[in-house]
């Protein structure tokens, strides 16, 4: 009986560990994305704020990885939002798949500054204004980049970032 309980414990632990790794990768990618974005002058004022909507794990990882770091001359500040209504202006907004981005895209864009990078993890999110969208293809975590959405927000995408993307939409 003990053996069965121990085996079940490890079987259940494995998916949780893998899930944590996915969040960690998304967090690392998110922090690296900001280096490959051409930011408008307005976005370079005050603190560099990264908002995370409905994902405490992503928020925790980004907070740990950015602690004490700066983006240029700006302090990196991470804000966690638990609902669409709580969202305030930030340079980057990470929207978890828990939120129906297509339903809330207009509201979220209205709450953000005109030069905010929107990162999502929902199939088809770039059709609704997301600039970078995490997707799973062939059991691998990848991301797509939508250059026209970036341009409409006053942002430019580095060719290095575009070359790493799984799909580039113009």
43-52 residue pLDDT tens: 888 999 999 9
Give residue 163's pLDDT band: very low, low, confident or very high (50, 70, 90).
confident
Pull the structure tokens for residue 113.
């500054």
Pull the structure tokens for residue 79.
């804000």
Domains of the chain: 2-169 (3.40.50)
Cα angle vertex 83, ends 78, 88, to 5°? 50
92-149 residue pLDDT tens: 999 999 999 999 999 999 999 889 999 999 999 999 999 999 998 888 888 999 999 9
pTM for the whole structure: 0.85
């Amino acid at each position: 009986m003990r053996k069965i309980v121990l085996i079940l414990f490890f079987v259940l632990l494995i998916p949780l560990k893998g899930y944590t790794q996915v969040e960690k990768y998304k967090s690392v990618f998110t922090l690296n994305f900001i280096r490959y974005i051409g930011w408008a002058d307005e976005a370079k004022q005050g603190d560099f704020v990264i908002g995370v909507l409905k994902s405490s794990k992503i928020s925790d990882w980004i907070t740990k990885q950015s602690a004490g770091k700066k983006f240029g001359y700006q302090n990196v500040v991470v804000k966690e939002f638990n609902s669409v209504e709580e969202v305030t202006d930030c340079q980057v907004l990470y929207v978890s798949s828990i939120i129906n981005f297509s339903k809330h895209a207009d509201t979220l864009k209205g709450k953000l500054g005109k030069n905010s990078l929107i990162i999502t993890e929902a199939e088809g999110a770039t059709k609704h204004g997301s600039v970078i969208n995490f997707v799973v293809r062939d059991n691998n975590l990848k991301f797509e980049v939508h250059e026209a959405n970036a341009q409409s927000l006053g942002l430019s995408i580095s060719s290095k970032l575009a070359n790493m993307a799984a799909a580039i939409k113009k």
